[in-house]
Amino acid sequence: MDWDDLRIFLEVARYESLSGAGKRLRIDAATVGRRISRFEEALGQRLFARSPQGYQLTPAGERLLPAAERAEAAMLAAAEALASPGGGEALTGLIRLGAPDGCANYLLPSVISRICAENPGLEVQIVALPRVFNLSKREADMAIGVSRPEAGRLTVQKLTDYRLVLAASDAWLAANHIPLSRAELKGLQFVGYIPDLIFDKELDYLAELGAPQVAISSNSVSVQLNFLRQGAGVGIVHDFALPAAPELRQILPEEVGLTRSFWLIRHADDGRVQRLNRFAQLLIRETRAEMARLEMGGSGHHDTQKA
């Protein structure tokens, strides 16, 4: 069985289309189609069911998929072994990391900058999207999630814990009554997520607080933060984002505070790729160091009780 045939099979399975696979492989869709047909002929089995909706795996294709993914991981590991025989050199090449936009905007820039400074030949792409990444389709080499996945051939490590706090701007606080208890939150104007675009239950934190429906909403944490900075209302903010928003103050810090975790999620077969293992180790180390640095810096200047 030829690795090149398996590689084309994998990309069609991931993108469920000849054109998507072709773009990834940098060959035209017609060539991809011919290669798949020849591969099926050689195997004597149909790997895909063709329809106007795309290419769906048949039972034979489903059986082949895990073996093809293992072959891909072995090829990546072999290429890495040849490129870095000592295993201790600086990291090089491209790594794509998927992350929720709050983490990508306010935590990862300092973390990834330090990692890249230590490894000048390394290129890191951060894909910041408010959704769950599909690692089986190779949307990213690894991803950061807000909850631990329970299904799929994945390896999962806790990256770090973080806190969510209630905050509003100095301008909003000057113009409105500062709530003295959680019971008073129901009368306030909230900024938060668009309810039907909450992609993970861990993000439905306003419901956990018993807050009313949001008046201004976005699927982006960064957009929410900027609304709060403009005095649009009160809302939940990642504690590590507060240094980027000096206009904000915490509200009810003793009563309102939620702990959440970020998880580093990888495809199970990538455990053989030492370059990705080393990057994951650096990412965990530097992320935890950054969170410790932010915690030691304190957040008293963000507290309405001390403002």
| N-terminal to C-terminal alpha carbon distance within the chain | 69
Q: What are phi and psi of 60, to 5 degrees?
A: -65, -40
**What average pLDDT score do residues 103-117 get?**
95
Of the chain, the percentage scoring pLDDT greater than 70 comes to: 89
**29-38, 72-81, 276-285: the lowest-pLDDT one:** 72-81
The whole-number pLDDT of residue 81 equals 62
Q: What torsion do the CA atoms of 14, 15, 20, 21 make, to the nearest 10 degrees?
A: 30
Element of type H or E holding 279: helix 274-297
Q: Does this chain's domain 93-160+261-296 share its CATH topology with 161-259+298-302? A: yes
Give pLDDT, residue 289: 93
Task: Average the pLDDT over 49-58 and give the result.
Answer: 90
| Domain 93-160+261-296: CATH architecture, name and number where available | 3-Layer(aba) Sandwich (3.40)
* CA 306 remoteness from chain centre: 35
The answer, yes or no, to whether residue 85 has pLDDT greater than 70, is no
**Which DSSP symbol is given to 160?**
E
pLDDT recorded at residue 150 = 79
Calpha distance 193→213 (Å, rounded): 10
pLDDT in tens, 187-203: 788 999 998 888 888 88
Q: Give the integer Cα–Cα distance in Å for 135 and 305.
A: 44
Average pLDDT over residues 107-128: 94
Instruction: Report long-range pairs for 89-92 (Cβ below 8 Å, ≥24 apart).
Output: 90/118, 90/119, 90/120, 90/121, 90/122, 91/115, 91/119, 91/121, 91/122, 91/275, 91/278, 91/279, 91/282, 92/119, 92/121, 92/122, 92/275
Lowest mean per-residue pLDDT among 48-62, 187-201, 230-244: 187-201
- The answer to whether 156 and 149 are in contact (CB under 8 A) is yes
Mean pLDDT calculated for residue range 10-28: 88
Topology of domain 3-83 in CATH is Arc Repressor Mutant, subunit A (1.10.10)
pLDDT tens string 252-290:
988 888 899 999 999 887 777 788 899 999 999 999 999
Separate counts of helices (H) and strands (E) for the chain: 10, 11
The residues with which 249 forms a beta bridge, in sequence order, are 168
Question: What's the rounded Cα separation, in Å, for the pair 227 and 221?
Answer: 10
The 3-state DSSP class for residue 264 equals: strand
Q: Which CATH superfamily is domain 161-259+298-302 in?
A: Periplasmic binding protein-like II (3.40.190.10)
Are the C-beta atoms of 237 and 165 separated by less than 8 Å? yes
Q: Are strands 216-217 and 154-169 parallel, antiparallel or unpaired?
A: unpaired
Asked if residue 135 has pLDDT above 90, the reply is no
Residue 229 confidence (pLDDT): 96
Q: At residue 294, does pLDDT exceed 60?
A: yes
Region 172-179 average pLDDT: 90
- Please determine, for residue 302, whether its predicted confidence score (pLDDT) is greater than 80: no
Contact 75, 5 (CB under 8 A): no
pLDDT for the residue 80:
63
Q: What is the pLDDT at residue 297?
A: 63
What CA–CA distance (Å, rounded) separates 194 from 213? 10
Q: 């399975």: which residue's tokens? A: 13
Q: Tell me the pLDDT band of 137, cut-offs 50, 70 and 90.
A: low
Residue 231's pLDDT is what?
95
| Domain boundary assignment for the chain | 3-83, 93-160+261-296, 161-259+298-302
Average pLDDT for residues 125-152, to the nearest whole number? Answer: 79
- Please give the pLDDT value at position 32: 92
Q: What is the pLDDT of residue 306?
A: 41
Instruction: Report how far residue 135's alpha carbon sits from residue 23's, in angstroms, rounded to the nearest whole number.
Output: 18
Query: Which residues, listed in sequence order, are joined to residue 124 by a DSSP beta bridge?
Result: 95
- In terms of Cβ atoms closer than 10 Å to its own Cβ (0-12, 13-18, 19+), residue 120 is exposed
